[in-house]
Structure 1
Amino acid sequence: MSDSAPEPRPVTTEAVPLGTGTRRWLFHPPRRHGEVDTSRSVSFLELFYDLVYVVLIGQAAHTLAEDISWRGAATFAVIFGLIWIAWLNGTLFYELHGREDGHTRSLIFVQMLLLCLMAVYVGHADSDDGRVLAALYALLLALLSYQWYSVYRLDLPELRRTPRRYLIVMVAGIIVTAASVPLSADVRLAVWAVFVVAWCGVEFVILIFWRRRPSYDVVTETMVERFGLFIIIVLGEVVIGVVNGLTDTERSALVTTTGLLGLAIGFGFWWNYADLVSRRLPRETGHYLATWIFTHLPMAMAVAAGGAGMVGLVEHATDHRTPVAVSWLMGGSVAVMLLTTVVVLPTLEDYDRYPSAYKSVQVALVAAAVAALLAGWSRPAPWLLALTLLLVLFATWAFAFVRWLRQGSLINERSAESR
């Protein structure tokens, strides 16, 4: 008798008829509420989906760069809010209920087709193009509502209350946006603004009640990563703004230096978000998850607006003082980015473990936001404004870095060990 181990038997699987396998792949139902896959990673399809939003946000930011005014900023904020709501719905659906199958892929690609068509009209949403944009947005909301309904009808009765409320708000959004099609441009924008504020407010409350006594966990590392990737998407507008400004301006040492300082502001955005917020899990219960999610809207909007302001900053690089609108846009963008970070920090899972470190960082962020607003108000030369805002962002990061070192180690490392 041989002492060697027996050879393993080949693994055999039962053959599935082609028709049956195809039907399963194309019509596999989504995951129900509670069936959260905590072990998955961000897929190529999700990255592809997010790339479509680069075009939408780019169009909106380009329009703001051409018209930095109160009306231009208000229009940009409304359009960005619509874009973010669509992204949030698509992202959360895939995170909570999507599968790697033909059914999920097909619905996402249909969404991407609608989003690409919307991008054609986003740049002139405050004109007659807004009519087509409203119609396309209503179709997109209808498709997203169908997806959420496909989950709702599979859910256990005891888990249907929150999805039902969510669907009611989605249907109301379809009605409102569709009804805005025949309105005049100004009235339509006002309706959209009310819709964005109301939708976020109502869904914020629904999410709080849902998480008051959660029956299952929904926060995963992939969810946190998707929100971080969206911030990276809008950071791309900073790079585009600098490049467009340098392309359209007669280049000199001063103009180039101003552009590079502006680009470094984008680095400061990334550095603060990456080390203070990114890859840190938010808390599951109470208002924390809702706050974490919806604070990302003004945060991302501020970064994108800063990218739009880069064009004016570079184009006026040789001026003795930065134009009023450009100066306030840049200072305000940095201030909002810092203040939203202050709001996000208490929602993080490890906030209570290092309260003294986090609270001191919050104080520093508020002080830096005030400094950014003062810089915008004082209107120094463009290069000096860019340098000042860069130093403000660097100072907050440096303060946090030193504060955490005094705690014994970086919070990033402790967070990784605690997972």
Structure 2
Amino acid sequence: MSDSAPEPRPVSAEAVPLGTGTRRWLFRPPRRHGEADTGRSVSFLELFYDLVYVVLIGQAAHTLAEDVSWRGTATFAVVFGLIWIAWLNGTLFYELHGREDGHTRSLIFVQMLLLSLMAVYVGHADGDDGRTLAALYALLLALLSYQWYSVYRQDRPELRKTPRRYLIVMVVGIIVIAASVPLSADARLAVWAAFVVGWCGVECVILIFWRRTPSYDVVTETMVERFGLFIIIVLGEVVIGVVNGLTDTERSALVTTTGLLGLAVGFGFWWNYADLVSRRLPRESGHSLATWIFMHLPLTMAVAAAGAGMVGLVEHATDDRAPVSVSWLMSGSVAVMLITTVVLLPTLADYDRYPAAYKSVQTVLVVAAVVALLVGWSRPAPWLLALALLLVLFATWAFAFVRWLRQGFLINEISAGSH
């Protein structure tokens, strides 16, 4: 006979009647405010959901690549703002209130259906397709509002003030977007622009007042990860832009080199965001969380715009000077990315640990943004434009890397990550 202890018998879950289990799985209410699951990881459903936005952003970027003008850029910015607001609502709802059940899955899949239909019309949003896009977007906002309302209904009375304000802004947004359907293209774009600016501004203020005296935590590692994953999705547009440019252009050594340099600019975006911002929790209180969230809008927009600019950069690789529009789009995107990073850094929870290092990095980022704009203004040859912007991004990362090493910050992070 063996002297070893008997293996423990598996614990069986309590049996639930089929009807009761099905009802729980399909109709279980979302989590209330203050019940965020801080120990969870990003789910496959969230990754699937984000993939739909790849198509939406790709359609918008493709249109900008075909019309790199002031109007084309403005249209892209407005449409991207609409897309980002939808993504933010879907992401935060799942993060704060979603569950791994049939109810949450069903609502997310309905969102994905609407988003997929929207992708059909995003490419010509400044024309007649804008009417259908506006109608679909109003439906999407209505669905998102219903989700937030389902949380509001079961919240404790003392926690309903902020969700009520949020819902009012959402309902006003539905009305505004629906009212833009019959308007002319220019008027409709103006209404959309006002909606993006107004919605972000008002919700930012609501968030600031809400977090002045937080009664519970809302910042989690999964939320930070979702924002980082969205940046990666947008960075995919840089790769697509280079590939499309090389596909549509007669390839030569110069053209291929220009494309690879452009792709390396995308790598520079990733290195700076990954090492300066990503996986670092923002502060919970004050204006920091609001700034951290809403600064990701211009940041991701700039990266997506650079992806659109890659097409023109490669197509004009043999020109003596880069086209004015392409030169400004590329340099402006780099400058916006650097400046938004400057604003993001003080919102991080560990900013006060090494204030001198962070402030010196911020100074370098501002100088680098100015240099990037000067490069765009000078309009060098496309290959040289890409190389110069790449060097600007590399210089900012290298400076930050050296500062972290001198402070022991980077070494401490590596040590912490190994345990």
TM over 0.5: yes
Q: Detail structure 1 runs of 4+ shifted over 2 Å in the superposition.
A: 2-14, 414-417
Q: Distance in 2 between matches of 1:415 and 1:64?
A: 44
Alignment of 1:292-303 (within 5 A): 292-303=292-303
Q: Alpha-carbon deviation of 1:3?
A: 7.3
Aligned residue in 2 for 1:346: 346
| Amino acid in structure 1 at the alignment position of 2:37 | D
Q: Does 1:85 align with 2:99?
A: no
Cα distance in 1 for residues equivalent to 2:187 and 2:390: 39
In the other structure, the counterpart of 1:142 is 142
**Alignment-mate amino acid for residue 270 of structure 1:** W
Alignment of 1:15-414 (within 5 A): 15-410=15-410, 413=413
Superposed CA offset, 1:359-379 (max 9, x none): 000000000000000000000
Local SS of the residue matching 1:282: coil
AA aligned to 2:279 is R
Alpha-carbon distance in 1 for matches of 2:412, 2:92 = 25
TM-score (structure 1 length as normaliser): 0.98
Deviation at 1:354, TM superposition (A): 0.3
Partners of 2:30 and 2:371 in 1: CA distance: 49
Residue by residue over 1:203-243, the C-alpha shift from the partner in whole angstroms, topping out at 9 and shown as x without a partner, is 00000001000000000000000000000011000000000
- Alpha-carbon distance, 1:14 to partner: 2.6
Instruction: Tell me by how many angstroms 1:404 deviates.
Output: 1.0
What's the secondary structure of 1:153's corresponding residue?
helix
What secondary structure is seen at the aligned counterpart in 2 of 1:352?
A: helix
Tell me the alpha carbon deviations over residues 267-319 of structure 1, each in whole angstroms, 9 at most, x when there is no partner.
Answer: 00000000000000000000000000000000000000000000000000000
- Give, in whole Å, the separation in 1 of the partners of 2:217 and 2:383: 48
CA–CA separation in structure 2 for the residues paired with 1:11 and 1:83: 46
Report the Cα offset of residue 13 of structure 1. Answer: 3.1
Question: 1:409 deviation in Å?
Answer: 3.9
CA distance in 1, matches of 2:246, 2:13: 60
Q: Distance in 2 between matches of 1:255 and 1:7?
A: 66
Residue deviations 1:111-148, cap 9 Å, x none? 00000000000000000000000000000000000000
Q: Is the alpha carbon distance of 1:3 and 1:66 closer, same or farther for their aligned partners in structure 2, counting shifts above 3 Å?
A: closer
The TM-score, its normalising length taken from structure 2, stands at 0.98
- The one-letter code of the counterpart of 1:140 is L
Matching residue's letter, 1:380? P
AA paired with 1:64?
L
- What is the CA-CA distance between 1:15 and the residue it aligns to? 1.5
Question: SS of 1:45's equivalent?
Answer: helix
Distance 1:13 1:30 in 2: 23
1:414 deviation in Å?
7.2
1:118 touches 1:137 (CA, 8 Å); kept in 2? Answer: yes
Is the partner of 2:145 in helix, strand or coil?
A: helix
Going from structure 1 to structure 2, the CA distance change for 1:128 and 1:103 (only over 3 Å counts) comes to same
| Identity fraction in percent | 89
Distance in 2, Cα, partners of 1:98 & 1:235:
27
Structure 2 Cα separation of the partners of residues 13 and 174 of structure 1: 44
Task: Provide structure 2 residue ranges, at least 5 long, that are not aligned to the other structure.
Answer: none
Residue 4 of structure 1 deviates from its aligned partner by 5.9
Q: Identify if the C-alpha distance between structure 1 residues 343 and 416 changes in structure 2 by more than 3 Å, giving closer, same or farther.
A: farther
For residues 107 and 415 of structure 1, what CA distance do their matches in structure 2 show?
Answer: 41
- Structure 1 unpaired stretches of 5+: none
Are the structure 2 counterparts of residues 314 and 175 from structure 1 closer, same or farther at C-alpha, using a change threshold of 3 Å?
Answer: same
In the superposition, relative to structure 1, how do residues 127 and 39 fare at CA in structure 2: closer, same or farther (>3 Å)? same
CA RMSD of superposed structures (Å): 1.6
Structure 1 412/132 Cα, relative in aligned 2: closer, same or farther at 3 Å?
farther
Cα 1:10–1:193 change in 2 (3 A) is closer
SS of residue in 2 equivalent to 1:108? helix
- Cα gap change, 1:327/1:412 in structure 2, threshold over 3 Å: closer, same or farther? farther
Cα-to-partner distance string for 1:179-204 (whole Å, 9 max, x where unaligned): 10000000000000000000000000
| Distance apart, 1:410 and its partner CA | 0.8
Q: How far apart, in 2, do the equivalents of 1:140 and 1:322 lie?
A: 40
- In the superposition, relative to structure 1, how do residues 132 and 380 fare at CA in structure 2: closer, same or farther (>3 Å)? same
Q: Say which SS state the counterpart of residue 233 (structure 2) adopts.
A: helix
The alpha-carbon deviation at position 411 of structure 1 amounts to 6.8
Asked if 2 retains the 8 angstrom alpha-carbon contact of 1:350 and 1:415, the reply is no
